[in-house]
Amino acid sequence: MNEIETGSWVRLTADLKEASKLLGAKEARWLVDTYQSIQKLRIAVGNRIEAASLEGEPASVLNWNLGNLLILEGDITAAIKVFSNSYASGVWLQGICGIGPILAAGILATFDIRTAPTVGHWWRYAGLDPTLRWLSSDDAKKLAKAVVGPQSVEVTWDHIVEAARQVKRRPDSIVKAHWMLKSKANTRKTNKPKEVVDKPPLTKVDDLAKALAVRPFNASAKKLCFLISDQFVRQRNRTNGRFYGSIYEERKAYDQERNNKGLLADQARKGSSRCTDRHIELRARRYVVKMFMSHFHAKFYEEYYGKDAPLPYPFTDHCGGDHRHFVGRPQHSVTKEGLRSLKQLYGEE
């Protein structure tokens, strides 16, 4: 067994910090996740030290641990800041009150503009589309059996299309969920990388049920959106935080008024004619973060494709072209000289 040198702490050097500009999206996302994990651990250790102090217990080892975590957290923050400041979109994001280098890096690394012709694709990706259904295992089994029928027949493409229609998903996403489940199982059995595991056809009812029960959105993206909305709520009383803060407050007041009139009864808990205050709060938070997502989608789209982004669906001619509730993104200038492009982030240049 190899011994690990622990006699000295390896700090982030100037060269390594400069190399942070070259991080790819996957590496940056991993670094942001690592930062959040270390931050959570550092807070837990700090709480334990405080408890030990109140109980009169020694905490020298815990203090040593806390010191190292602070150093590591600071070095990762410095690397992430360099990454975020290397892109015009990253600099623009940090010009918004509540969005610092960590959240900006998370957005850059999580939301790939190449996968989102419109912002609606990102809303679904982050679990913010109310039409997207996440089935329980039991409900998925019932749906699969209902679609295929009582006979012991193989699942066909038509069956997959019908199941997808009922849960408001794309048929290919259900097939990909099946491949993901099989690749995980085969990787555990064969120790082969996921990339080299075969993609078996979706032909069994049980496999269709399992695929339908897979979470239809990205959990990290949804968590990121919640953290962003939380910042907008926290910063809403600051002068430079009023842009999104006022959108949140206006939407919350609007939903509260409708709730008081019983207009949201269909969305309330069973047996109740009113939504809870928490429900109204979360509705307002989702609304403001979806508005923000439409803004940074437009910014990313313009930077990557060099042209204006399409309007979100509710403001297109399909819905009468009603622009009364459309809000343009915050405007603040960003000097692009010396900055990298999103195409470089995706390894295309």
- The torsion angle over the Cα atoms of residues 315, 317, 318 and 321, rounded to 10 degrees, is 40
Q: Position of tokens 């709730």? A: 259
> Does residue 8 carry a pLDDT above 80?
no
Write the Ramachandran bin of 168: left for phi over 0, alpha for psi from -120 to 50, otherwise beta. left
Can you tell me the mean pLDDT for 329-338?
70
> What token pair was written down for 296?
């940074």
Closest CA to 291 of 86, 113, 96, 32: 96
- Residues in Cβ contact with 131 at an 8 Å cutoff, skipping those fewer than 6 apart: 168
Minimum mean pLDDT range among 35-39, 142-146, 195-199, 295-299 = 195-199
Higher-confidence residue of 292 and 15: namely 292
Can you tell me the mean pLDDT for 289-307?
93
Give the confidence band of 14 by pLDDT, cuts at 50, 70, 90.
confident
Strand partners, 340: 87
H helix and E strand count, the chain: 14, 0
The dihedral built from the CA positions of residue 323, 329, 331 and 333, taken in this order, carries a sign that is negative
